[in-house]
Amino acid sequence: MPSERSPCDSGRGLLARGGVLTVEGGGVLTGRLARAMSFDLTEPNVQEQVISLGTLIADLLGVFSGSVLGALLAERRKMDLMGFLVLGLVSGVGGGILRDTLLQVGPPLVLVKPAYLVAAFSGAFAAFIFELRHGPTVKLLSALDALTLGSFAVAGTQRTLEVGLSPGTAVLIGIITAAGGGIIRDVLIRRTPTVMRPEPGYYALAALAASLVCLAFSLTGHRRLALVAGMAVGAAVRLISVRKGWRLPVKRTREVPRKGDDFGGPGEDESWTKP
């Protein structure tokens, strides 16, 4: 009598023979699906592959959403399609390029994995084609902002751990990955970087929280949960701090605030949610 036990109960319910996959309890799968599913989740090397895949997915989510936000700033500046693509690309992959350059583990992933460019340009084209800065999509943009930060922070932290560097370095690289693309983007458009502006909502602190949670789960042996937990915490800190109007303290001075940023450019209240 066939066993009622699910193949997922033990992680060993899938047996592949010559491209044919037999599932415990009956049933056969053939072809590419069989080859793709013929792995044992209890094997350490398979677990590493799953974790690496999770890191890649988190990275690509950050690239896409970061590209959308960067391209929307191009819309506010009345740029053409090239401006959308440039700011979208920089916002999407700038932090990852900084991360991979600092880690010195070969060329930046954007140069060797086409999926990164596809994600970045897809986000830029989406911002160019659709109207995203008005109406109900404004809330979606806030969620994208938080998702970008959390995704980049955990991807940077996890990738640093994968190359064998210290936990402190992993947290630092996670923050750099989360903030790097935005810093490059803001410098290009002559605006004080978001991470340095006294706006409502924690940015660097949210990235720090995401990196620390990811690190804590990884060091305690729960690496498969580290990515999800880190992203969730980082996004939550960002969203809650924006909604509550929390901000870091600013030094009080007697100087009269002037309109415009340190470069003499447009005002600091510029964002992708305002017309």
Total structural domains within the chain: 2
Q: Are 173 and 214 in contact (CB under 8 A)?
A: no
Helix orientation angle between 137-162 and 44-76, rounded to the nearest 10 degrees: 140
Instruction: Kindly report, residue by residue over 61-112, the tens digit of the pLDDT.
Output: 889 999 999 999 999 999 999 999 999 999 999 999 999 999 998 999 999 9
Q: Are residues 119 and 12 in the same domain?
A: no
Q: Are residues 84 and 138 in the same domain?
A: yes
Q: Containing domain of residue 60, as a range? A: 44-244
Q: Are 230 and 217 in contact (CB under 8 A)?
A: yes
Rounded CA separation 195/188 (Å): 15
In a domain, 74, yes or no: yes
- Around Cβ 187, how many Cβ atoms within 10 Å? 13
Q: Are residues 72 and 28 in the same domain?
A: no
In a domain, 221, yes or no: yes
Q: Are residues 24 and 144 in the same domain?
A: no
Q: Are residues 73 and 207 in the same domain?
A: yes
Rounded CA separation 36/50 (Å): 13
Q: Are residues 56 and 12 in the same domain?
A: no
Q: Are residues 133 and 204 in the same domain?
A: yes
Q: Are residues 23 and 56 in the same domain?
A: no
In a domain, 256, yes or no: no
In a domain, 95, yes or no: yes
Q: Are residues 110 and 177 in the same domain?
A: yes
In a domain, 21, yes or no: yes
In a domain, 104, yes or no: yes
In a domain, 190, yes or no: yes
Instruction: Kindly report, residue by residue over 177-228, the tens digit of the pLDDT.
Output: 999 999 999 999 999 998 998 888 899 999 999 999 999 999 998 888 999 9
Instruction: Kindly report, residue by residue over 106-135, the tens digit of the pLDDT.
Output: 999 999 999 999 999 999 999 999 888 776
Q: Are residues 15 and 126 in the same domain?
A: no
Q: Are residues 17 and 92 in the same domain?
A: no
Beta bridge partners of 16: 21
Beta-carbon contacts of residue 203 (< 8 Å; ≥ 6 apart): 149, 179, 194, 195, 238
Q: Are residues 117 and 100 in the same domain?
A: yes
| pTM attached to this predicted model | 0.73
In a domain, 2, yes or no: no
